[in-house]
Amino acid sequence: MSADPLSGAAPAKAALWRRPVFRSTVFQVLLILGVVAIANYLFTNTLHNLEQRGISTGFGFLSMEAGFGILQTLIPYDETYTFGRTFLVGLLNTLLVSGLGIFLATLIGFVMGVARLSSNWLIARIATVYIEIFRNIPLLLQILFWYFAVLQPLPQPRQSLDLGGMFFLNNRGFYLPAPVFEAGFNLVWIALAIAVVVVFFMARWARRRQEETGQQFHTVYVSLAILFGLPLLVFLAAGTPLTWELPALKGFNFKGGVTIIPELMALLTALSIYTGAFIAEAVRSGILAVSHGQTEAAYAVGLRPSVTLRLVIIPQALRVIIPQLTSQFLNLTKNSSLATAVGYPDLVAVFAGTTLNQTGQAVEVIAMTMGVYLTISLTISTFMNWYNKKKQLVER
């Protein structure tokens, strides 16, 4: 380091408290101590107050019997399970609606984003109308709209809309046949696994051959043929070891088959359409960010518009889209807690709702719920950052 320009003296002679390193260290230590002290004060003060008011604390309630029912459970659950289990049930319901929502919203978003830039006047206008309408109406209203205005006026179970005697739609849900795997169906799974491996190596071979010789191979069609054909052949050879359990009206409701409850349908529809509109705008901004020269260059070397979009525009646009996509995924996950408005049993409704109320352990329950959303969000964020890094321009 150079000497002090003003005094010209050696820096070692400066007093200890005048040295920048020393001072910055002291202030940082003080800041950390302050933060820890405040956190500690808040924590002990809360505990003290809870104890003083006779409110029981601790996580012992998690092993107590819950005693209430839940509408949709992805894992076995009934009233005799514990409050801890209600946490898992709620968490899985949240993950289900978030996962499906992210998938659908991305799909809708990419299609609509590209459509808005379409040279076809009608398609572009339809996409614009969709985006502007759904992006600008509060999400809660949209959820309530789908639930109370669209799904509730459907007919009663006894007058269900019958779609081919296999699918039934009424105001209590959408009922689908459930597959029942019989002995021998395992062979089909094995065939599918083999097909996946074959397709993987074939794609590698085709790519290498194209890089070396320039010859193209119909990878997509051949892959599809193998992926569907091989398991189908095995399925037929094994004597079709699969039956369908059909939903049937029994007593008050449909029994058997798979039920998609209207709460899930309403929430999922609203979330994916709402977030899809934002993703569409992100996609449009990403595509517009790619210089038009790229398109012209691609056309100049003779690429068709669809190939240009797929091989030239989208890969470059992704670099702009991914960070925005991340925040939309996070928004969707957090917005899924609006489920409680229509009675979808997500984490907030089940755990931070009923469980909180039955046990009265507000601090613990809310802390756990916040912890879960934080964890989900950070996981999505970490994954998307990794993906972003992978897609970024690699300088060679």
Partner 1 sequence: MKKFVLTTTALALCAAVSTTAFAGATLNDVKKKGFVQCGVTTGLPGFSGPDEKGNWTGLDVDTCRAVAAAVFGDAQKVKFTPLTAKERFTALQSGEIDVLSRNTTWTLTRDSSLGLNFAGVNYYDGQGFLVSKNLGVKSALELDGASFCIQAGTTTELNLADYFRANGMSYTPITFDSSDETVKAFGAGRCDALTSDQSQLYALRIKLKNPGSAMVLPEIISKEPLGPVVRQGDDEWFNIVRWSLFAMLNAEEYGVTSKNVDKMAASSKDPNVLRLLGQSGIKGKGLGLSDTWAASIIKQVGNYGEMFERNVGQASALKISRGLNALWSKGGIQYAPPIR
How many residues form the binding site for partner 1 (CB under 8 A)?
A: 41
Contact string 68-107 vs partner 1 (x = CB under 8 A):
xxxx-------xx---------------------------
With binding defined as CB under 8 A, does residue 360 bind partner 1? yes
Map tokens 């670099």 to a residue: 319
Query: For the chain, what is the radius of gyration of the CA atoms?
Result: 29
Closest to partner 1 by CB, 104 or 264:
264
Closest to partner 1 by CB, 42 or 307:
42
Contact string 186-225 vs partner 1 (x = CB under 8 A):
----------------------------------------
Out of 82, 285, 324, 340, the residue judged to bind partner 1 by CB under 8 A: 340
C-alpha distances (whole Å) from 363 to each of 212, 360, 371, 377 are 64, 9, 12, 21
With binding defined as CB under 8 A, does residue 349 bind partner 1? yes
With binding defined as CB under 8 A, does residue 148 bind partner 1? yes
CB-based contact 16:22 (threshold 8 Å) = yes
3-state secondary structure (DSSP) of residue 258: strand
3-state secondary structure (DSSP) of residue 349: helix
Closest to partner 1 by CB, 221 or 252:
252
Q: Which residues contact 351 (CB under 8 A, 6 or more apart)?
A: 86, 87, 90, 91, 365, 368, 369
Residues 132 and 281: their CA atoms lie apart, in Å, by 10
Closest to partner 1 by CB, 154 or 320:
154
With binding defined as CB under 8 A, does residue 324 bind partner 1? no
Contact string 222-261 vs partner 1 (x = CB under 8 A):
----------------------------xxxx-x------
With binding defined as CB under 8 A, does residue 343 bind partner 1? yes
Per-residue DSSP letters for 131-151?
HHHHHSS-HHHHHHIIIIIII
With binding defined as CB under 8 A, does residue 373 bind partner 1? no
Residues 94 and 90: their CA atoms lie apart, in Å, by 6
With binding defined as CB under 8 A, does residue 58 bind partner 1? no
C-alpha distances (whole Å) from 390 to each of 385, 386, 387 are 9, 6, 5
With binding defined as CB under 8 A, does residue 356 bind partner 1? yes
The b/e string for 12-44 (b: 16+ C-beta within 10 A; e otherwise) is: eeeeeeeeeeeeeeeeeeeeeeeeeeeeeeeee
Residues that bind partner 1 (CB under 8 A): 48, 50, 52-56, 67-71, 79-80, 148, 152-153, 156, 171-172, 250-253, 255, 262-263, 340-343, 345, 349, 353-354, 356-360, 362
